[in-house]
Amino acid sequence: MKFALLLILFSSQALAMRVVSTSPAISEMVSRLGAEKYLVGVTPYCLDGLNASKVGTALQLDFEKVVSLKPDLIILQENSPGKTSAVLSKLGLKTLVVKIVTLDDLFASWKKIASHLKLDSAQIEKLKKEIIPTKTIRRVLFKLGGAPEQSAMIAGVDSFYADLATSLGSIYATKSKGWPNLSAEELITLIDSDTTIIEVATHQDRLWSSAQWKKFCPKCTVLSWVDARAAYPGPSMVSSIVKLYQKHGEPQ
């Protein structure tokens, strides 16, 4: 009996991988798979793996630190500098590159990570099934910043925010790409009575006040979403926006 228990313990330890994550989204995906303990290196901006060593960012990776951690796998995002991948390859370190641009990318990359770490992907499928179109948020626009009463920075139609919104049944209210900074006059041309603006912030004190909104765009319908993880595409962003939609609309 004791031998069997020791064998199980040894096997689980042998299977545990040492992972270095180079982005908050990657760290979150690993953590949500129940493998936060696998993270031995993360960036200073990661909200998961807080006990792991800080290894810099994909732009400025501390290669010496990474090597010292003896990782089994280093996970990079597709937009990481080619130099980073080249140096890691030269050092003989195993890397996994994932793409996180669209909603489909997120789920595909999450499953890819689960597969490499030999982890159950049931949670991924569960979240996918929660993405159900709603009736009441017919047109939507995500506002991410700007100068109060002067301009509003919005997420373009090619953003993860817009992709998630259209997957939830909304029409995205702009055809502009990137992160346009709009004046009040420009914003007003994009909205109608069916349009909801979702104001995104990582901290409560970064939201505009009702007085500032009233002065900038009196006819705007605004919902607020405050979350420390709102700054990057990840499972938590999907969960939070799905809940926001569920709160304001019933499934079709």
Residue 117 makes CB contacts below 8 A (sequence gap 6+) with 17, 19, 30, 33, 35, 38, 73
Q: Which CATH number do you get for residue 197?
A: 3.40.50.1980
Q: Do both 89 and 162 map to the same domain?
A: no
Task: State the pLDDT at residue 13.
Answer: 43
Let me know if residue 118 belongs to a domain: yes
pLDDT of residue 11: 42
Q: Which three-class secondary structure state does DSSP give residue 151? A: strand
111 with 145, same domain: the answer is: no
Residue 15, pLDDT above cutoff 80: no
Position 148 scores a pLDDT of 83
Domain count, the chain: 2
Kindly state whether residues 118 and 169 are assigned to the same domain: no
Residues 83 and 170 in one domain: no
State yes or no: pLDDT of 200 exceeds 90. Answer: yes
What does the pLDDT read at residue 164?
96
The per-residue pLDDT for 94 is 95
| Domain closes at, from 68, 94, 128 | 128
pLDDT of res. 56? 95
Q: Which residues contact 190 (CB under 8 A, 6 or more apart)?
A: 141, 173, 174, 182
Relative orientation angle of helices 122-129 and 235-248, to the nearest 10 degrees: 30
Report the distance separating Cα 88 and Cα 119, nearest Å. 25
Residue 26 falls within a domain, yes or no?
Answer: yes
Overall residue count recorded for the chain in this entry: 252
CB of 27 within 8 A of CB of 48?
A: yes
Q: Are residues 101 and 7 in the same domain?
A: yes
pLDDT of residue 247: 84
156 plus 117 within the same structural domain:
no
- Judgement on whether residues 99 and 167 belong to the same structural domain of the protein: no
Residue 152: is it exposed, middle or buried by C-beta count within 10 angstroms (0-12/13-18/19+)?
Answer: buried
Q: Are residues 115 and 171 in the same domain?
A: no
Both 6 and 101 in one domain: the answer is yes
Q: Are 240 and 228 in contact (CB under 8 A)?
A: no
At residue 249, the pLDDT reads 61
In whole angstroms, how large is the CA radius of gyration of the chain?
A: 21
Dump pLDDT digits (tens) for 130-162.
998 887 789 999 999 888 888 999 999 999 999
18 and 94 in a single domain? The answer is yes
For 146: left if phi > 0, alpha if psi spans -120 to 50, otherwise beta; the answer is left
Domain range for 76 is 2-128
Cα(37)–Cα(31) distance, integer angstroms: 8
pLDDT in tens, 68-125: 999 999 999 987 777 888 999 999 999 999 999 999 999 999 999 999 999 999 999 9
At 201-217, the pLDDT tens digits run: 999 999 999 999 988 88
Residue 134: inside a domain, yes or no?
Answer: no
Question: For position 8, what pLDDT does the model report?
Answer: 45
Residue 133 placed within a domain? no
Report yes or no on 66 lying in a domain.
Answer: yes
Check whether residue 231 and residue 168 sit in a common domain: yes
Same structural domain for residues 35 and 116? yes
The structure tokens 């420390």 sit at 228
Model pTM greater than 0.95?
Answer: no
DSSP state, residue 223: E
Give helix then strand counts, H and E, for the chain.
Answer: 10, 11
